[in-house]
Structure 1
Amino acid sequence: MGQYLFKSKRIQHQKTTVNLLDLDEKPVFIANRFSAPPTKTKAIATITIVSNLRSQSRTRILAMNYIREDSLSQETVFTLLFCLLFFFRYTRTIVSIFTYLLFKPKPVQINPKYKASDATVVVPTTFKEPAELVQCLKCILACDPRAVYVVTGNNNVGLVRELCSIERFDNVVVLGVEKLNKCKQMLRALKEVETEIVVFADDDVFWPPDYLKYLLAIFEDDNVGAGGTRQRVRRKPTPNFWNFLGISYLERRVWNNVTTNAIDGSISTLSGRTAAYKTEILKSNEFFWYFENDQWRGKPLNTDDDKCLTRYVYSHGWKIAIQFDERSVIETTLEDNPKYLDQCLRWARGQFRGNFIVMSNETYWRSLRYSWGLYVIYIGQFQTPALLVDGTLAYLLANAFRSSAYFSTALAALGCWILFTKLVKLMPHFYRHPADLRFVPLSIAFSYLHGFLNVYAAFTLTKTHWGSQNLAKLEKARAQNDEVQPLLKKAVAEAEAYTEPTPGRPMVGEDYFSAVPI
Structure 2
Amino acid sequence: MDRLVSKILGNCSPLVILVSWIAIASMWSLLNLWGYICYKPKPVSVYPTYNASEDVTVVTATIDTDDSFKDAIATWRIGGGPKEIIVVTAEAVFDKLQRMARRIDPEKHFIRVIKAHRANKRVQLAAGIAQVKTPIFVTADDDVFWPAGLLPNLLACFEDPDIGGATVAGGVTPVAEFWTMWEILGDFRMASLAVTRCASSTVDGGITALSGRTSAYRTELFRGDGILNRFVNERWMGKYPVSSADGCALTEAIVCRGWKIYIQKCPETELVTTVKNDWTWLLQVVRWCRDHWRQNLKALFVCPRQSWKYPFTTVGRIREMLQPVSSIVKCILILNIFYYRQTRKVAHTFAYETLCLIACAMFSQIPQMLPLLPHLRKNPTHMLYLPCWAVFCYIRGFISLYALLTLHVTVWGTRRIIEHPVLSLAGKDMRSM
Structure 1 distance, partners of 2:43, 2:420, is 41
Partner residue, 1:15: none
How far the C-alpha of 1:397 sits from its partner, in A, is 9.8
Decide which of 214, 223, 236 is 1:283's aligned counterpart: 223
Partner residue, 1:131: 67
Residues 166 and 262, structure 2, Cα contact 8 Å, conserved in 1: yes
- Percent of aligned pairs with the same residue? 26
How far the C-alpha of 1:472 sits from its partner, in A, is 3.1
Q: Which moved more, 1:270-279 or 1:168-177?
A: 168-177
The amino acid of 1:94's aligned partner reads: L
Decide which of 116, 119, 132 is 2:56's aligned counterpart: 119
Partner residue, 2:143: 204
Partner residue, 1:421: 367
Partner residue, 1:453: 399
Decide which of 294, 299, 306 is 1:353's aligned counterpart: 294
Residues 155 and 475, structure 1, Cα contact 8 Å, conserved in 2: no
How far the C-alpha of 1:352 sits from its partner, in A, is 0.6
Specify whether residues 475 and 445 from structure 1 end up closer, same or farther in structure 2 by C-alpha distance, changes over 3 A only.
farther
Partner residue, 1:343: 284
RMSD (CA atoms): 3.2
Partner residue, 1:160: 97
How far the C-alpha of 1:267 sits from its partner, in A, is 1.9
Structure 1 segments unaligned to the other structure (5+ residues): 1-72, 399-407, 477-518
Look up the SS of the partner of 2:409 in the other structure: coil
- The answer on 1:309 being equivalent to 2:226 is no
Q: Can you list the C-alpha shifts for 1:407-465, whole angstroms capped at 9, x where unaligned? A: x9xx9998775343333222333333333333222221122112111111111111100
Specify whether residues 460 and 171 from structure 1 end up closer, same or farther in structure 2 by C-alpha distance, changes over 3 A only.
same
Structure 2 distance, partners of 1:227, 1:108, is 14
- The answer on 1:266 being equivalent to 2:206 is yes
Partner residue, 1:329: 270
Structure 2 segments unaligned to the other structure (5+ residues): 1-8, 339-352, 423-433
The ranges of structure 1 where at least 4 consecutive aligned residues each deviate by more than 4 angstroms after the TM superposition are: 73-88, 391-398, 411-417, 473-476
How far the C-alpha of 1:347 sits from its partner, in A, is 0.6
Pairing 1:361-510 to 2, within 5 Å after superposition: 361-367=302-308, 369-391=309-331, 418-473=364-419
How far the C-alpha of 1:152 sits from its partner, in A, is 0.4
Structure 1 distance, partners of 2:315, 2:114, is 42
Structure 1 distance, partners of 2:365, 2:311, is 28
Specify whether residues 89 and 428 from structure 1 end up closer, same or farther in structure 2 by C-alpha distance, changes over 3 A only.
closer
- The answer on 1:228 being equivalent to 2:174 is no
Look up the SS of the partner of 1:160 in the other structure: helix
The amino acid of 1:119's aligned partner reads: V
Decide which of 100, 104, 109 is 2:36's aligned counterpart: 100
The amino acid of 1:130's aligned partner reads: D
Specify whether residues 103 and 173 from structure 1 end up closer, same or farther in structure 2 by C-alpha distance, changes over 3 A only.
same
Residues 303 and 464, structure 1, Cα contact 8 Å, conserved in 2: yes
Specify whether residues 304 and 412 from structure 1 end up closer, same or farther in structure 2 by C-alpha distance, changes over 3 A only.
closer
Please say which structure displays the higher CA radius of gyration.
1
Q: Which moved more, 1:131-140 or 1:459-468?
A: 131-140
Residues 92 and 376, structure 1, Cα contact 8 Å, conserved in 2: no
Q: Can you list the C-alpha shifts for 1:88-114, whole angstroms capped at 9, x where unaligned? A: 534321201111122122111111222
Q: Can you list the C-alpha shifts for 1:61-109, whole angstroms capped at 9, x where unaligned? A: xxxxxxxxxxxx9657989977875565343212011111221221111
Residues 314 and 364, structure 1, Cα contact 8 Å, conserved in 2: no
Structure 2 distance, partners of 1:472, 1:87, is 49
Q: What TM-score results when the alignment is normalised by the length of structure 1?
A: 0.70
Look up the SS of the partner of 1:227 in the other structure: strand
- The answer on 1:300 being equivalent to 2:236 is no
The amino acid of 1:91's aligned partner reads: M
Q: Can you list the C-alpha shifts for 1:376-415, whole angstroms capped at 9, x where unaligned? A: 11354223254324346669999xxxxxxxxx9xx99987
The amino acid of 2:315's aligned partner reads: Y
Look up the SS of the partner of 2:418 in the other structure: helix
Q: What TM-score results when the alignment is normalised by the length of structure 2?
A: 0.83
How far the C-alpha of 1:355 sits from its partner, in A, is 1.4
Structure 2 distance, partners of 1:266, 1:95, is 15
Structure 2 distance, partners of 1:374, 1:88, is 17
How far the C-alpha of 1:260 sits from its partner, in A, is 1.6
